[in-house]
Structure 1
């Protein structure tokens, strides 16, 4: 799952993942990511998130919440 609030960056990441042979499910907020994760976490194999999402919960908080549900879930956090 890719969580990025900037559409152009999100599209670039999706394309790179697809070129690498991965499927990408993209959402644009931490809240949407949590909803997607709760509804279909068996389809999510890793989280790649921007740490500085514009609205709502941050990428740091998102990763923390997901790891509370699934402690060993792979997380990659990007951004400054």
Structure 2
């Protein structure tokens, strides 16, 4: 089942796993790492008990990912 993202007027405040992956652009393993670390929580709050994560949690986790990448000693700017 593919998502038709151009039909969304804006990203919703709560997202299922498929939408969260599309929103952040990270790999499934990264999303699971955030869950394991407690940075992102999926809760059964959506239609028919679908698990949703808050967009704000995804934003914070993504910002931390980029901040930690900028501080990596192995990062080479040229």
TM-score by length of 2: 0.26
Structure with higher Rg: it is 2
TM-score by length of 1: 0.25
Structure (1/2) with the larger strand percentage: 1
